[in-house]
Structure 1
Amino acid sequence: MALALLVPGGRGQLGHDLVAVAPSEGLVHAPSSAELDITDAQAVSDAVASFACAARDDSLRPVVVNAAAYTAVDAAESDEDRAFLVNAKGPELLAAACREHDVPLLHVSTDYVFPGDGTRPYEPDDETGPRSAYGRTKLAGEQRVLACWERSWVVRTAWVYGAGGPNFVKTMARLANERDQLSVVDDQIGSPTWALDLAGGLVELAALVAARRGPARRVLHATGGGETTWCGFAKAVFAELGLDPERVKPCGTADFPRPAPRPAYSVLSGRAWQEAGLTPLRPWREALSTAFATGAVP
């Protein structure tokens, strides 16, 4: 039986690529945040009800993949109430509506739920400890979703870039045309993740949980394989653009103070993802080359 996907936040970076990789024999409804405000309880209830009914009428298996989020990390420091509504209360409303209609929910979360002081890749069960308003609201969203509906899965990811929306790769490509030299922080470590690869992984997981063959573990990590620094990531972008990577110079986090603290180490372990029988996302450097070769970025 084919999948039907409801993707709140469907016009964002991840939503854009979920639409691109969704199976053609199924159904995808990907409303923008303006079209479906997940903080509006009635709108969420109506949307999930009509989606579930339409999917089952067409003999499809419905799954909700929540790609809607408040992602302005620095703005959240002074706007935590709004960030909480979108990142915590909204997902809880989705989970409640999914519970009412027996629809699995995949909720996308972030590396920012961890303190960022680790020395090895974080496992899903490692102790959390967000240090920013954004991280606190995303952690609250995870907790509320999992407490509300047993057929919910949280998928944490990090350093996402893709064809839709603003992202680090697009910023580096733009600055490469504006400046002879760039300084990029070299003391924050993570795993760049191509949104198209992440979307493919989420669709694979959606197919499993829709068939009630999903992993028992309800928190998973999915990022590009390997790790680098923001400076290393920037150098790789320059190389893909055919430019001299040495135009990118390393600097420290202290050289660019921001309202929200950034994790110094945010590598997420993909062990649980693989143990669940899911396909690992490709290594980050290979993915970046493919993204440029196919014209998906910048």
Structure 2
Amino acid sequence: MTYETPEPQAVCNPITSSAIFLVLTLNPTPESAQTVRDWFGDVAGLTRSVGKRVPAGNLTCVCGISANAWDTLFDGPRPASLHPFREFGEGERLAPATPGDILLHIRAEQMDLCFELATQMMAALGDAVTVADEVQGFRYFDMRSIIGFVDGTENPEGRKAAHFTMIGDEDPEFSGGSYVLVQKYLHKMDAWNALSVEAQERVIGRTKLADIELSDEEKPSNAHAALTVITDENGEEVKILRDNMPFGRPGAGEFGTYFIGYARSPSPIEQMLENMFVGRPAGNYDRLLDFSTAVTGGLFFVPSADLLEALADR
């Protein structure tokens, strides 16, 4: 049976309570490349095998491929907008590019499901890859980030989520796919907590308790909420789908946010990063970056579920 529209991966699935983010690099051998190509065909089956054990756990896995990995693994055209991660800013206020060929975004209502699937995925890949970064994220109270504000309030929902995240006729060979950009941020919690609630609200651009956006008169032009709104050439807002998760190790003094944004093109996310790290206008940067440091950065193409399975035979 064939379908007109490719089945997407679980990009638009509901936000869950737990997640594991794995960024992997390919080991430079022909055997490693073949192992990874074969593994693409097994991702969906492994996810089903683990998820069926706890159907209410809502286990999903989204797999993304970097520009470098695409060129290494496959001949022929790559997705039209896939390119290496672009760095923004400089000095202490920098969005850096860091190594990463494969992204796994595993999420479920229970961490044990995420853990089991990550274990099975890594066993299947064996020594074909090296782990560049691994983060276990958790949902923090009522959808709040580690700095205490609700995260993801402006996410598109329903058909709008698909519209803003799924590639369509603009790149028909890769329709049903998406782009995903990830960054790991570490927060200076002592400095942040030294601010009054009112000062924190001006940095974010929303009220802390009620999660209401400040009025244009109250909201500074360098507030996070002001600089992360992206519009197209017609003045219409372009949304991205965020599934950010807090993470941390209190004993080590590590408190962070794993940013993950899905879109049908990298352009709106990259414009958001330029606004944050360079400024709009230049110099009017996101004040949140006085308290948060980006330590990783990667851009990946998320094939449709149909294409991901077919990549095993490319």
Which bin holds the TM-score, normalised by the shorter protein?
under 0.3
RCO (CA 8 Å, sep 6+): is it higher in 1 or 2?
A: 2
Q: Which has the higher helix share?
A: 1
Using structure 1 for the length normalisation, give the TM-score. Answer: 0.23
Q: Which has the higher strand share?
A: 2
Using structure 2 for the length normalisation, give the TM-score. Answer: 0.23
